Structure formats: structure tokens, C-alpha cells
Structure 1
Amino acid sequence: MKRKLTLLVILCFSICRQLAAQDPLLVNVYNRDTKTLNGKWHYIVDPYENGYYDYRQEPFDKQQNPSNNAYFRNYKPKDKTELVEYDFDKSPTLLVPGDWNSQEEKLFYYEGTVWYKKSFDYEKAKPNNRVYLYFDAVNYQADVYLNGEKLGTHKGGFTPFNFDVTGKLKPRDNFVVVKVDNKRKREEVPTVNTDWWNYGGITREVRLVEVPASFVQDYFLQLDPNNTNELIGYVQVGGEQQAGQKVQVNIPALKVKQEVVTDARGYAPLEVKVRKVNLWSPENPYLYDVNLRVNDDVLEDQIGFRSIRTEGADILLNNKPVFLKGISIHEENPQRGGRAYSEEDARILLNWAKELGCNFVRLAHYPHNEHMARMADKMGLMVWEENPVYWTIQWQNEDTYKTAERQQAEVITRDKNRASVIIWSMANETPVTPERTAFIRNLIAKTRSMDPTRLISAALEKHNINATTSTVDDPLIEDVDVLSFNQYIGWYDRLPDALSKTSWEIKQNKPVIVSEFGAGALQGLHGDKMERWTEEYQEYLYEETLAMLQKIPQLRGITPWILVDFRSPRRPLPNVQDGWNRKGLISQTGDKKKAFYVLQDFYKNFKLKDKK
């Protein structure tokens, strides 16, 4: 088993390299030397993409002598005779990070291209240092240009990417231009149909990251699932000199000082013997200071060590059965009215989850920002992270699969050292077809190859055997570690009084997580418990659902839908929804609904031993 895990970690490194774009992703930008490019960026709305295509629909950035009207050139007229039809510096500004929908009323529903421009000066600390332009996320497609030169393109609205800009920066008057396009397309991931707001823009932080000529580019360090006295992983050195580099790993609290030497690729496996480890858990979210050094580069991180596995119907955290008291969360700050992106946003959402009594959160339906996982590490919340393979996408499209696989690789690369992350979810509510099953099985295989230490799941759908019996009939049951499914009996399927009459037939001896249930309620609207949209209806549904689900012998967790009301263009009902999905336990104004206290009381009194 030990040899198998070591080989998987090596394979993880190999696949990460294959999946990387032109410039491999830096990890732990949190703790590196950076210069922020956050703040005001000038923008131009370009629905016809006049700044990208000429009148023959030929891209300017593929032409040898592009027009002065190619926006990425940020061109200024040399005299009064020159015809230039744009000017970034005279254009309005948007805040980065942030979405354009919530910042500019006229862009509230806009989907299309917006160009961003930021000017800056930059001088390196040392002449031989390398510099990377790092984006935490841009939704959806980003074409990035520096000083009029195209750096590359990235697709995917929720994962990080970076470009090596060493040798391309000037001490004064640099400018970066980003063409951001959030149009929904059938071949993309997610596809055209979702149930959340399609916030466009540079929605997370932008930084210049400076590193020495040779540096710690990537690393993976986790507790061996089969041996609590050993840490396993790898380190990857990037830069000019990668082969034969001595990398020191130092964990002072464990009295670990170990040196490894990289091979010709800059790679070295890690097998670190340790004594008694203070294991991370919700009750004890202990994080070790970990230092990695190669030459002049010293990189610090805060890593918790814990094991997660399944045994029959149990989920074992540090070899002890655990029940996942969870809630689903969208990446949205409802009080500000836009995409969540800051550490304070994460603190607000996760503190609400803690107040609810949660030890677990489902970050749906896409990778959330890095603050969420790091804050969960500190707060002792276990985390489910999800790929935006949502509903029905183009299962037979090879490029669609590559986009999904790359996004999965990017979030694993970013968060693979976070103790809080215990489940990688492949998808949500996808139809059962051979093409879809093959698509997701390939994602599962890649994920297992990249990370052998975490559990795999997907939010499946329930199926009716008859009027009173439900099950899950999906071939992916055999591939996942945890059987998860969404069910909405009492809301989309019959009324809440049907819940007490419903039984479940689940034959698999696997842990079950009910990944969604819920009902819409307008905070402050009261009435009979059978009256839609009232707090009493939602409260009654929660009471009946919790009673029903406890009859499932394999039940080991729930993540009801959802913590807070969130914006969705699918929800237009006047005076009730008004563009909001109302299934939150908390309103967009931060007020708790009656069902919040039902779930809070359930978590306070529930004991896993009641399930044994």
C-alpha cells in the first residue's frame, strides 16, 4: 500500500505538469512576496468585440501589424490627425476584485466582453528574480496582455492561473489589459443553464509574485492515510536551475528537519517520519508551521494533518466515525450584493455556518476563493469542493472535457494542502447517460491520480421506485467513496406531508450524504405551514425532512440547500423571489428564518451513536 501511495503522488506530479498551461501554477501565493494590482481598473464595455476583431472578424492579436484600435495596445494618438476610437484612461473604473454586475447598474444583466486596463510601475528586488502575473479568478474567459503583448488565454471562472512575465516588465509605465468575456456557451463548463448569477469580471485578486531565480514552485504534504507517523508528498522546484537543488523541509513543532535533492525535472518525493502528530479536527483545528527552503527562497505555510477515509457506511476522520453536520454555500456576499471574494466575506459566511452548528460546508457549485478553505482550516470546518460540471453539458465534446479536467486540476493544485478539504466533488445533478458516466469517470480517475488522500463524491439525483419509496439508481455509485444525492420531496416533488410516508432503499454499504434538500421562504412572510413561500412552510419541511432522513441507516451527513438567499435570474416571481433563490436559511439582509433554528437544534442534539 505504501508503494502504491508513493507512485500515486509521483503520478500526481506528472499529471499536474501535463495539465498545466504554458506556465505551471504557483501554489501558496498567500505567503509569497507579492505586489497587489487590486484597486481601480479602467474598463470599456465591448458587446460587439470591436477591440478584438477587425471588420472582417479577424482577431487583431493574430495580425502582424494590428490596428491602433486594437484595445490591447492601449494606443495613444501621436498627433491630432490619428484616428483612435478608444481611450482607457478617459474611461470609467471598476474595482478589482469585484464583478461588474453589482458595481454598475447598467451592467447588472450584461453578459459579454468587458476590457480592463491597469497601469503600474515595477522594479524587482533582485535582478535575477522571476516575476509572475497571478490571477485568483476571472469569469469566464480571460485574454491577458502585458505592454501590448499577449500572454495567453484562460477559461474557467473560478480557478487561478498565472503567467511568467520575467523580462517583460519595465521599471515605469507598464500596463496590463484583460479581455473578460462571461458569455455562457453550450460547450463550456458550466454550460448555458445554471441556477446562480453569472457574475462577470476580474472577480478575485490580481498580484505580481516575485520569486528567486530558483524557487519552490509546488509541493504536496499530507498525512499518510495508512500511517499516522509519516507525512508523504513531493516538492517541485521551478525557475532557471531545477536539477540537483537541495530543498529543506522544516516543521519546528514536530522537530522535523529534512533535506531532499531534486531530480532532472526539479522534483523530489517527500517521506517525512514524525512522532505523535497533533491531528487536525473540528474540535482541534491545529495547524503546523511548515517551511520549505531552496537557496534564497523560503516559503511558509500553515498545514493541518489528519486522515480521512471510509469503512463500510462510516466516514472516519482520524480513524473515528464522524457525522458531517453541513450546509451548502454559494460564493456570494448577499449584504453587499455581489460575488464574495475577501477574507471578511469568508469569515461572515463561515461564522454563520458555525453558529448553525456545522462541522462541514459544501462549497457549491464551483471552486470558491482560497480564503474559504484557509479560513475553514483555522475554524475547524470540513469542506466539500466542487467542479462546475453542472446539470447538462456537452459530454461528448473533447474540448469540454479538457476544460473540466483543467479546472479540477487547478483547484486541486491550489488546495491540496488544506486539511479542511476532505471531499472532491465531480459534478452536480447530471443526467444518467453512458456519455456522462464516462466523462465523470475520467474526471474521477484523474482526481484520484492527483490526490490519493481525499474522498471522491458527486451530487447525484434521487429516483422513485414507487409513490412512497425512493432510491439512487446511478452507475457512478460504484465509483464514488461517498454516495451523495439531492432530493426535494415537499418542494418540487409533492408536499411536506409526503415526507413521513417516504422510505429509502439504498443497498450500498457506503456513507450517504444528502447533499441538498430545502424549500423557498421569503424572510418575514408568515402563514400556514402548507402555504408556499412562508417561513412556516420551510420550517415544516425541515422538520419532516430531518425525521425522514434519519431512517436511512447509512446516513453520515447532510448539506441542506442553502445557507443564504442568493441571486438567480431563474427566480423572477414578483414580491417573493425578485431575482433571488429564497431557499436560504438566512435572508439577503442577514436575518435568520425559522428553519435556521430547526437545523441548529437538530445539530445541537444529534449524536452519531444514535445511528449505530
Structure 2
Amino acid sequence: MKKLIILLMVMSAMYSNAQQAMTNIPGRKTFSLNGKWNYIIDPYETGYYDYRYQPADQNPNPTSGFFLDQHQTDKSQMLEYDFDKCPTLMVPGDWNSQDDKLLYYEGTIWYRKLFTYKKSAADNRVFIHFGAANYETDVYLNGKKLGKHIGGFTPFDYEITSLLKDENNSIVVKVDNKRKREAVPTLNTDWWNYGGITRDVDVVEVPATFIADYKIQLKKGSSAEISGMVKLDGSQKSQSVKIEIPEIKQTATINTNENGEANFSISVKNLSLWSPENPKLYEITVTSATDKVTERIGFRTIETKGTDILLNGKSVFLRGICIHEENAMRGGRAYSREDAQMLLGWAKELNCNYVRLAHYPHNENMARVADELGILVWEENPVYWTILWDNPETYANAQQQLTDEITRDKNRASVIIWSMANETPVSEARTNFLRKLAEHARGLDDTRLISAALEVHGNSNPNDKVVEDPFAEYVDIVNFNEYVGWYDGLPEKCDRINWVIKYNKPVMISEFGAGALQGLHGDILTRWTEEYQEDLYKRTLPMLSKIPQFRGLTPWILCDFRSPKRMLTNIQDGWNRKGLIGQNGTKKKAFYVLQDFYKQKELEYKQVLKK
């Protein structure tokens, strides 16, 4: 076992030689590198390998490679690239939606940005922080390699203090979005493989010893004790650190150890608990001798008891919807605060109190805006369909991405569920893979719930639907995807279904739905019409309501989204049409069916609260 743990630690390090990304970038001194970046399309990776296929950046004194950002010093010099003369892409942003010739492109693109940055204090440290880039990213500053990051949806940063010049710094980023069988996610997915630097890029300036990380949440099982940890990075790791919540006049002072770490606990009274009805956020300040950060954090409890989900000790029904990280209006990767406000605003209009962010970690703005709007959140690791369950490197990759996701969003009150996977085929290797992930997640954060989107199976009775999965024993909430009426018969079949679910746990439906082209109309038996989708919703909601343990749902999906798997001409045209909102932002008829169902559920919940 010890050897296995060491092996996994080594492999995890392979997937990012950046240090753990610092938390709360919005609360720090930053200089944005967003905007236009010059780019070179490089499908053969000519800018990385020589003609013997040797990586140029492994040469201690490289003379070639796009990362050097070279320019001719005389007219006879042989040089086959020039970033200055190249076109530009906007960062953040995927390359697929910015240039028609890159719509389906999978491979390497080199980005280059010139910038000047001067520190405000001589002994301060400077980092470059990436919200995410898909999928393998090599980063260079002024010709020197900072490192490689693997994974398309989690943040990473590198220290650049010693490499900064007074002016005209060149940051070069090699981004490769090729799908790989051993990757997470693997080759086969039902969403667009957007490539590029898809989230914010910031220069971050911090003191020589800074507050790198902290967790501030209610202790598991308590609504009167805030606990957590603080971690410093730098040469002065042993310091006195103060955690303050001015609004309720609460303070804790702790001393970090030689590793810069310390735990704390604060007893509180009359704390206003965060909920969808009361999305209360407190301003929290963490102050050391050398650094200070401020952040708005909410406090709530989440747990299960038997078949109930308890939010702040009270049973709650989760009225949800699935969301992809895509702006339906422009058909590209979502990334901004405005994107989050639009998507979550539509969810609020549906009367949702909950969203499932599928099938990978979404950008940080989603959880932060959800905190403000009062929307509960499911976040998901990109373990999707047919991962290589027996490959230790694949597991290390999945564990690292889960770690990065939890590290980034552990202080978000809105986030209540860490999901390990989606629609994975049952096998002993797969169950062990997911079990280890669940144990790892609980070790990092024991205050939230664990789940996964499981599958439904049949038995000898064609109208029986069985939910039985060995991984269900390890989750707090049993979630499953079902498509009765779309992939399984017609909508009228919903009227005859009998659910067989043996677990004494809350049960939620993580997906159901039907495709409909917005604006296409017909009778309820005509596929792809709004009427077919509407009829399926009208029949599915009563069917699911018969499940005794039924405690919530997230139908598939809020908006139409791009997928190369969806090829029906004049209907799909590269879009998954199961959205309740079309690619033009217009709501389909089924939107209002779900809206009315949630309105009734909301009224029922308010009556319960009054009692």
C-alpha cells in the first residue's frame, strides 16, 4: 500500500509541475493579461520538436523553438516564424469559435503576449495564474520554461519573480487539446473539445511570504463553530495569523508552524446561515505579519439523514438543471462573470435553487455568482464514460483534477456536492477507481456530500427500471441518469414505469430529457419538435415523483450546446438539442413545464418552512 501511495504521488506531480494554485485570485493584487494574443497553428509541433523529434525545451541552451520568441538579427538569419506578424486570438476564449478554420481543430497552437510589469515592492514575489487552458499546457517566460500543466478545467500558476524583465516580457504558451485514450476525460465525449486559453490569465503580486491557501467553513455537523486552516508560502512560515469576521465581532489568532500551516476554530452565535432564500455572505479577513486577504464567504450546513437532504438542518428538495460551460448565444466556451450571470439567471427564472455543473469543473465565476444569487451547486470531476480504470496514470490525473477543483472552491457556500463521475460502466476496476476518488475527496473536505451520475438498468419486466450500482454504497446521494421516452421508447412509456431502488438514501435524477429544435413544431409524436419535448416533461415529472426517496432533479439541460456527435442535418447541425433554451436564447415550451413544476415545489417548501 505504501508503495502504491508513493507511486500515485509521483504520478500526480507529473500532471502539473506548477505549485498548488493560490486561492482567491480576485482578492489579490493582479494585472490582467486578457486580450489579444498572437498565435501560430502548429499541427506537427514544429515549434517544439526538431526533425529528429527531440523536444527543443529539453536542451539546456536551446537555439530553436517557438517558445524563444526570436526575431531576425540580420537579413540572412534563417527563421521560420514571427509572432509579431501573426494574427490574434482573444484570451480568455476558445479558438474554435473565434476562427472558422479552427472549429474542429485538435492539436497545438502557440500563444504569445508581450507585457511590462514592475513590482510595487522590491522583495515582493510575482506569479502568473491561469484559470484554465485545454488540455496540455506548456508555459514559457522570456524563453525559459515555467512548467507543464495537464487538465483542461482547473487553475494553475507559476512563480516568475526571477525571470521578469523591466519591460517587454514575452509569455509564450503552447496549448494542445488533442484527445487521448488515457486522459481525463478520455477520447469519447458528448461535448465540444474547445481548445485554447479558455479562462483568465493574471499576473499576481504577493509579499515575499504570503497567504497561499485557507479554508473557512462551518465544522461538519455544527452551525455554531467555524473551523478551517491557513497556509503560508515563503521564507517566514512561522507567523501569527488573525482570522476576523467583523460583522459578528469574531476573531481567532493562530500561529503557523514551520511548514506555514495552522488550524483554527471559532465559536459563533446568531450566525445568519446561507441558503437560497437567504444568500448571506460575510466579509472575512485573514491577516498575517506580511500579508492580508479579504473574501466574502457564506456559512451553511449540508447533510443527509435517511432519505432526506438537510440544508441547515431542514429537509430540502433540490430544484435543479444541468449546465454546460457554454454561452449558447455565441456558441463558445463560457468564462466571464457576465456569462455566469446569464446562465444562472436563466436557472433562477426556472425557479431553480440548484444547478449541476456538468461534466467538468466550470470557471470560478459560476460558484462565486451562485454564492451571491443563492443557488446550490454540484461540481463534477471529468471522469466520463470509458476512462482507463486500470491505468495508474489515469487515476493520478483524475485525482489531481479533483484536488484542484476542491482546493479552488472549498470556501463557496453554494457548492454542496462533489461528483466523482458521469455514466461510467460498472466493473470492479471502475468501482475501486471511484471509491478511491471519493475517499480522497472526503479527506480534503468532509463538509460536503459525495455523489456521481449513475446509470439505470432493466430486468425481466420491461417496465421495471432498476438503480443498482456498487458505487452507490459509497455516495451520500444516489443520482442517476434516465432517458425513458427518448432513448427508451416514447414518452407515453413513462406512465407505466416502476422504479426499483433499494437504497435508504436520498435519490435524485441527474439527467432526463429529449431533443427539440427551437421553433420546430408538430404533434407530440414527432421527434425534434418542441411538442415532443414538452410532452416528455409532462409525463416524466409525475413518473419521478412516485419514487419514495425522490429529493431533487437536474434535467438535461438548460441550453443547447455544441457537440460533434450530433450530426443530423437541419436539426442538430453539431448541436445537442436537449436544451430548454435554444442556441438563440429563446425558451422552448418544456421550459415552462419545468418552471411550473418548480413553482409548485417552491410553494410546498415554503409551507413546510412555516411549520
* TM-score, normalised relative to structure 1: 0.96
Alignment of 1:451-470 (within 5 A): 451-465=445-459, 466-470=461-465
Match of 1:203 among 198, 203, 213: 198
Give matches, 1:361-400, under 5 Å.
Answer: 361-400=355-394
**Structure 1 residues 77-476: aligned runs within 5 Å:** 77-243=72-238, 245-465=239-459, 466-476=461-471
Determine the structure 1 residue equivalent to 2:8: none
Shift of 1:22: 4.2
- Match of residue 520, structure 2, among 499, 521, 525: 525
1: CA distance, partners of 2:260 / 2:594: 50
Equivalent-residue separation in structure 2 for 1:507 and 1:167 (angstroms): 60
**Tell me, which stretches of 5 or more residues in structure 2 are unaligned?**
1-11
Aligned-pair distance for 1:228? Answer: 1.4
CA distance in 1: counterparts of 2:586 and 2:15, whole angstroms? 43
> Deviation digits for residues 224-270 of structure 1, max 9, x if unmatched?
12221110110001122112x01111100120122100011100001
Q: Counterparts of 2:13 and 2:77 in 1: how far apart (Å)?
A: 46
SS in 1 for 2:346: helix
CA contact (8 A) 1:74 1:148 kept: yes
1:47 aligns with 2:43: yes
Quote the offset at 1:21 in angstroms.
4.0
Counterpart in the other structure of 1:578: 573
- Look up the equivalent residue of 2:159 and give its one-letter code: D
**Contact conserved, 2:516 with 2:527, CA < 8 A, in 1?**
yes
In 2, Cα distance between equivalents of 1:367 and 1:212? 29
Give the superposition deviation at 1:573: 0.3
Q: Secondary structure, in 3 states, of the residue corresponding to 1:389?
A: coil
What is the identity, as a one-letter code, of the residue corresponding to 1:268?
A
Residues 576-597 of structure 1: per-residue CA shift (max 9 Å, x gap): 1111000000001010000000
User: Partners of 1:75 and 1:513 in 2: how far apart?
Assistant: 56
1:66 aligns with 2:71: no
Instruction: State how far apart, in whole Å, the 2-side matches of 1:451 and 1:432 are.
Output: 26
Do the aligned residues in 2 keep the contact of 1:121 with 1:171 (CA within 8 Å)?
A: yes
Cα distance 1:17–1:46, how it changes in 2: closer, same or farther (>3 A)? closer
Matched positions, count: 594
Distance 1:590 1:508 in 2: 39
Indicate conservation of the 8 Å contact 1:19/1:409, yes or no: no
Secondary structure of 1:222's counterpart equals strand
Contact 2:191–2:561 (CA under 8 A) maintained in structure 1: yes
Superposed counterparts of 1:513-592, under 5 Å: 513-592=508-587
Following TM superposition, by how much is the alpha carbon of 1:19 offset from its aligned partner in structure 2, in angstroms? 9.4
Per-residue deviation, residues 287-325 of structure 1 (Å, max 9, x unmatched)? 000000112411000000000000000000000000000
**Is 1:602 the equivalent of 2:597?**
yes
- The letter for the 2-side match of 1:230 is E
The one-letter code matched in structure 1 to 2:229 is Y
In 2, the alpha carbon distance for the partners of 1:399 and 1:196 equals: 24
Partner of 2:579, secondary structure, is: coil
CA distance in 1, matches of 2:250, 2:244: 5
- SS, match of residue 100 in structure 1: coil
Distance 2:387 2:308 in 1: 33
Query: Equivalent residue of 1:589, what SS?
Result: coil
- Taking the aligned partners of 1:512 and 1:375, their CA distance within structure 2 comes to 27
| Structure 1: tracts of 5 or more residues without a match | 1-15
Residue by residue over 1:92-127, the C-alpha shift from the partner in whole angstroms, topping out at 9 and shown as x without a partner, is 000000011000111111110000000111110000
Residue in 2 that maps onto 1:11: none
Are 1:130 and 1:239, in contact at CA under 8 Å, matched by a contact in 2? no
Structure-1 separation of matches of 2:91 and 2:549: 45
Contact 2:354–2:377 under 8 Å retained in 1: yes
Cα distance change of structure 1 residues 17 and 297 upon mapping to structure 2, 3 Å threshold = farther
CA distance in 2, matches of 1:17, 1:274: 39
**How far apart are 1:66 and its partner, in Å?**
2.2
Residue identity matched to 2:586: D
Q: Report what 1:24 is aligned to.
A: 20
Q: Which amino acid aligns with 1:510?
A: K
